[in-house]
Structure 1
Amino acid sequence: MKWVKRFLAFIGIMMILGLGTIAGLYAWIAPTLPDVETLKTVQLQTPMRVYSADGKLISQFGEKRRIPVRYEDVPQHMIDAVIATEDARFFEHYGVDPIGILRAAVVVATTGSKAQGASTITMQVARNFFLTREKTYIRKIKEIFLAVEIERLLSKEEILELYLNRSFLGNRAYGIGAAAQVYYGKELAELSLPEIAMIAGLPQSPSAANPIRNPDRARMRRNVVLGRMRDVGYISAAEYQQGVQAPVTARYHGAEIDLYAPYLAEMVRDHMVATYGEEDAYTRGFDVYTTASADTQRAAQRALLDNLFAYDTRHGYRGPQAVLWGGEAEAETEADPAKSDAAADLADGQIDDESNADGAWDNERIVAHLKSVRRYRDIYPAVVIAVEEKTAQVINAQGEQIELPWNGINWGRAYISDTRQGSAPRQASDVLAEGEQIWIRQFEGHWWLTQIPEVSSAFVALNPTTGAIEALVGGYDFGQSQYNRVTQAKRQLGSNIKPFLYSAALEQGYTLATLINNAPINQWDRSQGTAWRPRNSPDVYTGPTRVRQGLAQSVNVMAVRAVREIGVDNFIDHAVRFGFDRSDLPRNESVSLGSASATPMENARGFAVFANGGFLVDPYFIERIEDHNAKVLYQHTPKIACAECELALEQAAPEDAEPALANQCPWPAELLAPRVISEQNAFLIHQTMQSVIWGGGNWSEGTGWNGTAWRAARLLKRRDIGGKTGTTNEARDTWFSGYAPGLVASAWVGFDDHGRQLGRTSWNAYGPQDQITAGESGAKTAGPAWNQFMQLVLDGVKEERYGVPEGIVTARIDRESGKLSTKSDSSSMFEYFIDGTAPTEIAETTPEESNVFEEELSEELF
């Protein structure tokens, strides 16, 4: 009994000492422990996601990929796999597993190794949120104290949810939600048992057991997890056998992007970083909803790409990207920007200068080479392996053999310069040869030979009532160039300036029936010692011509005479109302021909004024911003173009303004966009831009004439559209801007090198019957993109009839003189006028020959 008493006393003393030691350790460490209370409001680092207005994912920004999941949304097999593998007694202990600690202590005592961690899931949560992964005794002690406190504060389900969302699982994936997407491209609920086991086995060795980098080791780890699940009783022996026999199917999946709009996404990223700071923007889990709709954005992207390839095709084939064997087997690159990419390929050993020494490459070598070649938007690298009379066989990067038909090759007459092309090829060998690395794209149901476009383009579409950006494409390929030409490229407007010029003229007393002399101008410039001779395009002069026809046919000398009559300063003051920067508007008569510069965004905003009845709206691209809990942090409230609201305010007494407004429209007065021109002025320019597309007169009676955008009338066959072409001097910039129901859009095409002209093309015997030839221009070069876009977005949209606003009257006028007409034959027509501006003089039987705005003959050559 004496020994028993001594032993019990010893045990008691040791327990007291142990408890005292623990208490002392806690007292010593407690001041350095973090506040566990923060776990209740923890914000996991979640990337920023950018969506279209209709919820399609556009992009994701952030170093860590994380898709937070709630405990109740986690599949039971995933919970079972994690518990069985990481902490079998998780639901039984209080944060610390004594059996696990004892087992780890035995290992340390017998081997001196710290390999056995003894960490419970709760202890791992403590480490992941508050500590480092350094294997030290003091860290383990802190882990234990924190785990006990976490268990006191949170439920088991809350702890497990934190663990499942925080764990690093390789390939920048944090948490099981992101891992499911990264490795399998699936939602959690879609994972199979083997896939669940693979992910559950990753927390302990996310790199070494990574199924993408080390599939054999990953399979072993997955099978260990399945074995633990079987041993614990979570799965049957049959499920285990089926699981361990399953192949490793994991491969890297990027963010599941639903909508390609990288230029828009970059605008969002830049705004969010400027607003919230870089760290918060990338980690707080913002969901940013843009104003662009998926269908409209896709239509803009498709139209821009097809138009660029069409331009490139009609100007000729610049040759292969490289020659891998045969001939001289030298890397032959296209002009910038592809030249730098090919040079990089050479530097990386992707193109072998000695490649022709061994003759033709085998398929394996071809595929390996093609996989190293950078891809561009909508085109794919391929290598020619056989050329027949009218076809060619190529291999792509997937090892697939593809036939290029003759109508996918025969466009490839040689490119000589921007203004010259070679003769049409007679057989495929005139264009292609074996061993050439080329580019191909799918078009019209089959594969075509193609090339990387050198020309640039931009496209933007706005809602003219609110300013919301419906679609935005800043260039051909964002990976090739991040330069956003919609918002950053200030280019000369060419004849896109003329609607604004004639709008100013209407305010100075002009009407759509006013005659301006369409005759050559030869003005001596004493300061330069030269004569300024603006010319029409085409170089045709018809004498006195009405304003409507002058704008619709984009007559240059009429625009010069108009700005001369109203004054350059008056016009600039007027143009600034449309949102143009005064510093971009030259204070000379060349401004009437489009020497002013603007971005496509600024230009579209200006055209929106004509489309919405005279209001200046502010373009915007972010509709709302939500946090990771779907709480709305920001909701954009645009200023609205609303003539009805404006009328309600005008008609109500000051004290009744708000009630009157409330009865007419849903927006308060402070949310109404400012009016910058009258509704009548906007209507008349709106009308003339319809004539740009539909022309005027009656062809059967000999009075018909075309506007510069007649191709849009043939394609779209709608009367509720209008627009304006624009071509600068020597065709360095081409534009088409215009409107349709609920949309205003602007397309620009040109080279990033301001000095390079868009050139001209000759007839191609193998081209389509309606092919574009001769000099490039706004109608030929930018117009097709606008036309195709409108064709896509207006499909199924009912044609609208525009109402005539108050203050507009009609009068029958003589086509030649613009005066009132008493006739009802083809020599007369109805025209719109602002009330009080209609002509009062009746046309004589023989129209007068004099110019309405007569100038001294010494200043002109006729």
Structure 2
Amino acid sequence: MARLGTWHTVRKRRARRKSAAQTKARGALGVLALLIGGALVTLALAAISATAAFIGLYNFYARDLPPPSEIVKVSEQFETTLIYDRTGQTVLYQVLDPSGDRQYVPLDQIAPDLINATIAIEDRSFYENPGFDIRGILRALWLTLQGDVVQGGSTITQQLVKNTLIAPEERTQLSQARKIKEIILAAEISRLYSKNQILEWYLNTNFYGNLAYGVGTAARVYFGKAARDLTLGEAAMLAAIPQNPQLNPLDAPMAARQRQIVVLESMVAAGFITPEQAEQAAAQPIITQPLTERFGIVAPHFALFARAQAERLLDSQGLDGARLVLGGGLRIYTTLDLDLYFQAECAMRAHVERIRGGDPRAAPNSGEGKACLAADYLPVPPNLRLGVPRNVTNAASVLIRPQTGEILAMVGSLDYYDRRIQGSFNVVAQGLRQPASAFKPFVYVAAFAAPEARFTPATMLLDIPTTFNQDGIPYTPRNEDGQFRGVVTVREALANSYNVPTVRTLSAITIGQVIRTARQLGLNTLNRPLDEYGLSLALGSAEVTLLDLTYAYTPFATLGTMAGAPVANPRVGFRALDPIAILRIEDRNGRILWQLDEQRGTLAKQSVLQDALAYLITHILSDTQARLPAFGEGNALQLSRPAAAKTGTTNDVRDAWTVGYTPDLVMGVWVGNNDNTPMGDDLSGATAAAPIWHAVMEYAHRRDNLPPRGWQAPSTIVEATVCQRSGLLPTPDCPRMREIFYADGALSTVPTQADTYWRRYRVNSRNGLRATAETPPELIAERVYFEYPPEAQLWARQTGQPLPPTEYDTARTARLSLLAGNLSAPQSLARVRGAVEVRGRLPQGKIIAYQLEYGAGISPERWFALPLIDSAARGEDIRLAIWDTSALDGLYTLRLSMVLDDQSFQAHTVQVTVDNQPPSVQWIAPLPNDAINASVGVVPLMISAADNVEIAYVEFFWNGTVIARVDQPPYMTEWRVTRLGAQLFHAIAYDAAGNTRRSETVEVLIVE
């Protein structure tokens, strides 16, 4: 059916049905009498007639009802709800009388599309029904018989009655009595007034969100036009709002779009428009107006957030929250500390002006017109260049009292009314952004909680170039400054926000453990299936809101306890409490409808984390010395009292974060641009967000004269002495440090293994080489070195770290010519395996006897003789023995002992490394049976290879042909696509002794 052409045509067609519809209303009352009477007969088992039952029921409920004609007057009645700050002295927001912002519009001045859209989504039989929906009533009666709550059946006329003629306190009741009154009045109004008049009243009294009452105001507020000029797409979007006013195009644009599509589909089903028209309307962009300052709301982001939360809290009490807040004359007392709000806002403005290149001394007044005292505490980070223009337009912050979950301040943007920065958007509660490194505490607390991992603040982690296998795709994280530190502890990695160690930590446990921990602590937006998260999760790639992130830090501040308002229907595995913006809600008569109170069950506290685990994180985040390498002296994370804090900076510096806390306050700060454009390469969380956090936290604590206090260690936290870097039990050779550990009986993470990384070596003090049996005793000295794990050896060599010498002292090599004979093979420091041929120089005449021996180490305590091939053989390069090393591994010394013709004795020794263990090889990418499109041009090949001594190189093969040789990790190469179909790849790793290991053969299909 084509879309209705004009409203006048519709009116003529429906006018023909008007008289019959009004007459039908009287007859419908008889139907209603039979329906209700029938239900009473069934329930009471009485023998009275259905008609008599209805008459009695009607008289019973009708005696207290206002006359239907009262609707003309009561549509103008409304009692304002007031929302206050926590003192009750300042009104933040008035939920105003509709006449305060209502433009009454006659029906013929309303776009036909909006009329049709409203009918399609609210009451498709509006022009035919007698004011109530018979099917809905039957359903309600059936549910009553089943003992369920009465529901359903609300027509446009019933909704008009409910919003205008039913007493405000009764509107919120989900009762049978209220429903019957509503039906009776709806039927009478349908009998007395035309359908067009009823529809006109309905469209002019509906609430459309953002203080807009009636379609005239709503069209102006959202689209800046008259109601008659709305497009089909705009009309569909507007018609959907009354069912849930929060889902409007300004506050929830995506949800509003989804609701628009639902309305368009309903219009198609009702025959008002064609599917093609619906598709065209859905495809058209919707341009909304900026929300102007119509009523001078104080702290608008918070006030609107508090209003929405008040509605939900009333709903949880079995009331109709939206209707009560809308016109029920409530007094809502919030948690907002107005002074803190104004000081946070002005400190944010001052610092954003500074980092965008403005006057660094600028200190705007607070919103109250008072001095911005918090700006006096704004530090200038040592590495922040002033006077440099940068693209920084917005900031947001939130302060929470961790003991109760109360939101003390919420600044959703720098200017609610600034359209240029999308200021009405509440970044705190609605902005989904990547938290970057501010997410890392959740990775490490999950690692501390994983008993099989045994992570501690002293656990050794590698901060070296590393490529991880992520479902066959190489992932190579980098640190923010592009540098690597080699070996670090968990404490150093978290305090300095090193990326690679954090990814290694996540890889060592599981993504599932981290996600479950983060959800439990309050990050509600991590709701995707686990297999959709990758290793980049460790660096904060999953989007969160600033409110959720800040609230999730509160259990760290309280050592494991979360406080807040109970969630009505919490999701399994997610937090069961919410941060709270409401202290008390009173009705028009002062009766308390809801109050934040532990005794009432509206304030709850739950243990969501072991106190010891929270203490470990807090101890690290508050360690001012540990963070110095990355943040330097005088950084903004240091307060005049114990405080823990973490920064975050996303790629290209699109988001800058700081979240930190004391035992008294938790504050989160975000700085960035709502359009997600980069701010400037030289900014970071430490320079853009941390100064704001520092200033407001200092101001808040000093204003209230809060005494400096830290956190008391739980009884399950113990101190122990361990080796630096390795975190293992001390040996005489390692430098030591004190660290804290979790210890609860048998569940103790205090290390039990002695250190194996710090080792003492004997060296030639003159040349620094490892001492041998030939090194003169007076030149031998002992030195202690840290032996880096094999994976870190390359980084250590490339960066010039102090390493134990790998070459042995050959100080006496020059005197070989003085020896009668010597060993010529294997060479000194050679790597050998299997059957080793030993050769030597034994000139004729001088040597009368010799023997060949070997022993373990540099200076063997025990020697083993090797059988000689021919003890009488002499010559310049002869075969002396075949040494079977197949059962040996490690450092060995070969010794040739000679007796000369003058009965003197000479010896020559050579140190070699015996290596009979082949390397280990694991194929990483591509995966077996992968199908790769030829258009990509190349196929990345990657393996992981390791050896007990040293990998020499890796060869990659394609269909049996060598295509690349890689001498150092990461062992990666590429094969250029030259043909389609199945291709075979494998690799062979070679160690320095010649041992090899072949990988599996991987078949990959190259497709067009």
Greater per-residue helix proportion: 1
TM-score (ref. length: structure 2): 0.42
Q: Which has the higher strand share?
A: 2
Q: TM-score, normalised by structure 1?
A: 0.48
